[in-house]
Structure 1
Amino acid sequence: MLSRFDDGRAFIDEVLVPLSDAYEVVRRADYKAATGADEVDRLLRWLNLLDNDDRIPPAILYLSRPTVHTHDLHRFLADLERLAASLLSRRMDVTRRSSDTAEFCTPSRQEPTFSDRPPRCNSTTPRAGRL
């Protein structure tokens, strides 16, 4: 990733600062928007109650995108919360949680970044032989 940047300042400004800002929003449940911020913060607070941090990287990645629409963010976080609750209630191990969270974040993309439309939660049902 560093090879895409001519100097360290561009990397800090274009990558680290947006990710850091997104991390603060996730951890503090302090999303700012003209409308819908209360619902987004409610979902973030709920996700922060979970006893693992599996949901933090996808939330950070989504929030660090240059354009985030509140409605899409709410839908993404609701799906992420559903996935996290499912994995928690089924007491999945860290390997399964990581695998399902990665699948959730990249269901049909060729690159490791989010497309314009947020992914839908598609891995909350148990797979055969993986209970």
Structure 2
Amino acid sequence: MINVKSKPRESILKEFLNDIKPIHDPQQLIDKILIPFGEAFYEINNQAYHSDILAEKVNQFFRWLQLIDNSDWIPPAIFYLARNYSNPELLVRFFTDLDRLASGLMIQRANINERIERYSKLLYAIEIGEDLYASHSPLQLKMEEKQYILKILNDDLYLMKKIRLYVLIRLDTALSEGKASYHFHNITIEHVLPQNPISNSVWENWFVTQEERDQYVNRIGNLVLLSSYKNSQAQNYDFELKKQKYFTTKTGVSNFALTTQVLMEKEWTPEVINKRQEQLIDRLKQIWRLQ
């Protein structure tokens, strides 16, 4: 991918022999390409970048990128890291934007051909030394992409099964100022306003019609994170009981900043959800520069 900048059309071995031509200068191939690329690939996979400054910041981007649901971002990550290993400031700037691009393509559900085309252009831009931070660079999100991403995030996020947990964990990390750590497979999503509230409950006083409930129930302003143990017990309790049962722990607070916000609310009305929706979308705009 780094060399040819397109997805394979034949076997990897055949294309490697035809396009890389290792027999022409095998020592150069090993010393200048395979070893530095292999080391870069290892450090990306293991979040093992070393530097006197900014190493943890670079490794945090590697952790986020590992949560992307495809691996098409890896070739430009390897290529840029191998070329700029000793310049952590450049790495932070590049991986900030690669994380943004990979997240944006994932949220938009870009298909494999769209991703390969985009990353091919990015590899070429890195190779010839283009300004990666100019607005027309393939590393940068276009205005229409940012608008589409915001539309998706502002809609019924819970119904977007392939991105909803990723988006909420990114949001929770930002709200906790990066101090939280996560066991990804032990986290589930809970609706504050239940999907199926009990008849004659307080929910029916706050959301009078089914149409009104449908308008709010699956939006980001109504969603929180719980441990899978808490969520597995979940029922359609009224708001106060729900806060006691699911949004607190033995220490008195939730493990998630996103969920702790709910504990401060005395009621959970359309107005509260609207306000929270706006605040959370604004935070996502900051994370991925979607303004």
Q: Normalization by structure 1: what TM-score?
A: 0.79
Q: CA deviation at 1:64?
A: 1.2
Paired AA for residue 96 in structure 2: A
Q: Partner residue of 1:119?
A: 132
After TM superposition, the structure 1 = structure 2 runs for residues 87-102 of structure 1, keeping only pairs within 5 Å, are 87-102=105-120
Paired AA for residue 71 in structure 1: E
Q: Provide the aligned length of Structure 1 versus Structure 2.
A: 121
Tell me, in whole angstroms, the C-alpha distance in 2 between the residues paired with 1:101 and 1:119. Answer: 12
Greater RCO, 1 or 2 (C-alpha within 8 Å, sep 6+): 1
Is 1:28 matched with 2:58?
no
Runs of 4+ in 1 over 6 A off after TM superposition: none
Q: 2:35 aligns with which of 10, 13, 17?
A: 17
Is 1:37 matched with 2:62?
no
CA RMSD in angstroms comes to 2.4
Tell me, in whole angstroms, the C-alpha distance in 2 between the residues paired with 1:51 and 1:118. Answer: 28
Unaligned runs of 5+ in 1: none
Change (3 A) 1:106 1:49: same
Tell me, in whole angstroms, the C-alpha distance in 1 between the residues paired with 2:118 and 2:95. Answer: 15
- Match of 1:35, SS? coil
Q: 2:70 aligns with which of 47, 52, 57?
A: 52
Highest CA radius of gyration, 1 or 2? 2
Paired AA for residue 20 in structure 1: G
